[in-house]
């Protein structure tokens, strides 16, 4: 481990203020470019800036990683994962209300 | 090592068909998948299910596992027979995207480390990137307002001296960025599991949750506060003190406000561009007629200002 436990780590909040290039995004997801392109084409994630210089918001990273797990573990297809993600977002929004 | 009853985990009979097993797994996976489930032990349950399914969906692994017969019960001490060769792929040939999940020692003894999802292939030269880790961090709303440093303790994978992947507890001090909201994820690059053969470490993702607060409820960057007020404060439109995270402020109540009316203190929520607002919900409290003086005032109101609040109800 490179970090010792007594120093403070500064992370990045995955929201609209942070963006990733396509290659950073692929690396963070641990997948090849083709899979990200497929996710964009299927409407799972929307790039913050369009091709050729695709950039993605932090929120898209959370979405993409969740979609990858859903596809892997539940054998759903991309549109199915996108639907589940939208419903999960909605559920979370409702649950944060009184 | 404890014996694991994979049939029990998936809730199927030993005689279940491959289709039955698939169906049972799918149904349970939808219920317990950590991204979907609100069950408190979803993650642990799901890990077990995936391991059970990895064995039972594969006819070769299943028949190897079935050799132990039904006399074995979950939790029993277990040692594989001495002539047992590992019945599965040795290497982690898993899916490209990682986190295929670390399976139990029981699984690994029987089937090798094929279930190890600790690594993800990286381009070139057999380098493998470490596993991403995730945890939830529960903070007081004040931390999100001011920023803070919090300690997080989590289990991380580690490669021991014999080259095996094991887990150890690790404590990290993490800066809580000002303005973070509940449900957001903080990414700490390279703080996940270690890489192999020169591969980069995985990342750590912390999901932020707010501890319940005695006064405020947060919705995104906005804060909600219930403010007790007297009937005359709302009827006459008085100035009252309101707590905010930055300190007490004065709030002028518009005369004639009713109970439940919500007022907005702009920019008094969690910081950001723009900052959130604080919403103040008026809750009219009626002091009891506790002594003669109070009683007299209520009676005077009754006599001189007789209103029927139920007029709309037709009574």
Mean pLDDT is lowest, of B90-94, B132-136, B157-161, for: B90-94
Q: Give B184's contacts in chain A (Cβ within 8 Å).
A: 13-15
pLDDT band at B83 (very low <50, low <70, confident <90, very high): low
Across the interface, whether the CB atoms of A5 and B170 are under 8 A apart is answered yes
Kindly tell me the sign of the dihedral angle through the C-alpha atoms of B272, B274, B275, B276.
negative
CB–CB contact A11 B99 (8 Å): no
Looking at the complex, report in whole angstroms how far the Cα of residue B265 sits from the nearest Cα belonging to chain A.
Answer: 19
When scoring A24, A59, A71, A72 by the number of chain B Cβ atoms within 10 A, the one with the most, hence best to mutate, is: A72
pLDDT of residue B121: 53
Chain A hits for B217, CB-CB cut-off 8 Å, are 98
Question: Cα distance from A85 to chain B (closest Cα, Å)?
Answer: 9
Asked if B156 contacts B190 with a C-beta cutoff of 8 angstroms, the reply is: no
How high is the pLDDT of residue B125?
A: 60
Instruction: Evaluate whether B202 touches B133 at the Cβ level (below 8 Å).
Output: yes
ipTM of the complex, rounded to two decimals: 0.84
Q: Which tens digits make up the pLDDT trace of B23-81?
A: 999 999 989 998 888 888 888 889 899 899 989 998 988 988 888 766 677 777 777 66
The answer to whether B98 contacts A30, with C-beta atoms less than 8 Å apart, is yes
What are the tens digits of pLDDT across the range B146-157? 999 999 888 776
**Looking at beta carbons, which residues of chain A come within 8 Å of B187?**
11-14, 28, 58, 61
Beta strand B278-284 with B133-139: parallel, antiparallel or unpaired?
unpaired
Rounded-to-5 percentages of helix, strand, coil across chain A: 55, 10, 35
Q: Does A47 touch chain B (CB under 8 A)?
A: no
Q: Tell the burial category of A72 from Cβ atoms under 10 Å away from its Cβ (0-12, 13-18, 19+).
A: buried
**Among the listed residues B56, B18, B50, the one whose alpha carbon sits nearest the alpha carbon of residue A72:** B50
From B171, B185, B191, residue closest to A62, measured CB to CB:
B185
With beta carbons less than 8 A apart as the criterion, state whether A65 and A72 touch: no
Contact A11 B149 (CB under 8 A): no
Question: What's the pTM?
Answer: 0.79
The answer to whether the Cβ–Cβ distance between B29 and A73 falls below 8 Å is yes
- Higher pLDDT: A97 or B289? It is B289
Q: What confidence category does residue B298 fall into, taking pLDDT thresholds of 50, 70 and 90?
A: very high
| Chain centroid, CA A87 distance in Å | 16
pLDDT digits (tens, 9 = 90+) for A14-60: 988 899 999 999 999 989 999 999 999 999 999 998 878 899 999 99
Using a CB-CB cut-off of 8 Å, the residues of chain A touching B127 are: none
Spatial distance between the Cα atoms of A15 and A45, rounded to a whole number of angstroms:
14
Residue B285 pLDDT class (50, 70, 90 cuts): very high
| The pLDDT value given to residue A1 | 46
């Amino acid at each position: 481990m490179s970090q010792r436990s007594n120093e403070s780590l500064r992370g990045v909040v995955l929201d609209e203020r942070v963006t990733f290039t396509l290659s950073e995004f692929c690396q963070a997801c641990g997948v090849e470019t083709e899979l990200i392109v497929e996710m964009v084409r299927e409407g799972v994630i929307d790039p913050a800036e369009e091709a050729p210089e695709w950039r993605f918001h932090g929120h898209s990273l959370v979405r993409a990683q969740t979609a990858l797990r859903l596809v892997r573990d539940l054998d759903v297809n991309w549109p199915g994962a996108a639907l589940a993600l939208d419903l999960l977002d909605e559920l979370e929004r409702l649950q944060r209300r009184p | 090592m404890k014996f694991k009853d994979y049939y029990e985990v998936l809730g199927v009979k030993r005689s279940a068909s491959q289709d039955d097993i698939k169906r049972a797994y799918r149904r349970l996976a939808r219920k317990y998948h950590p991204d979907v489930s609100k069950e408190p032990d979803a993650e642990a349950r799901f890990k077990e299910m995936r391991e059970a399914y990895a064995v039972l969906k594969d006819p070769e692994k299943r028949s190897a596992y079935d050799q132990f017969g039904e006399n074995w019960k979950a939790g029993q001490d277990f040692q594989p027979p001495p002539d047992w060769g590992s019945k599965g792929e040795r290497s982690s040939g898993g899916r490209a995207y990682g986190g295929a999940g670390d399976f139990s020692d029981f699984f690994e003894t029987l089937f090798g480390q094929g279930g190890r999802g600790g690594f993800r292939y990286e381009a070139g030269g057999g380098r493998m990137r470490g596993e991403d880790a995730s945890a939830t961090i529960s903070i007081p709303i004040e931390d999100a307002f001011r920023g803070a440093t919090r300690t997080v303790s989590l289990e991380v994978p580690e490669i021991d001296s014999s080259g095996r992947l094991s887990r150890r507890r690790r404590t990290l001090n993490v800066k809580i960025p000002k303005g973070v909201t509940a449900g957001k994820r903080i990414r700490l690059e390279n703080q996940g599991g270690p890489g192999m053969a020169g591969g980069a470490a995985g990342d750590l993702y912390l999901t932020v949750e707010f501890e319940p607060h005695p006064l405020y409820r947060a919705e995104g960057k906005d804060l909600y506060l219930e403010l007790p007020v007297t009937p005359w404060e709302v009827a006459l439109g008085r100035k009252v003190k309101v707590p905010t995270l930055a300190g007490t402020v004065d709030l002028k109540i518009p005369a004639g406000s009713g109970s439940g009316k919500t007022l907005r203190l702009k920019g008094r929520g969690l910081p950001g561009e723009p900052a959130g607002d604080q919403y103040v919900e008026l809750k009219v409290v009626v002091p009891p007629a506790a002594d003669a003086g109070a009683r007299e005032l209520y009676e005077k109101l009754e006599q001189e200002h007789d209103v029927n609040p139920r007029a709309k109800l037709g009574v």
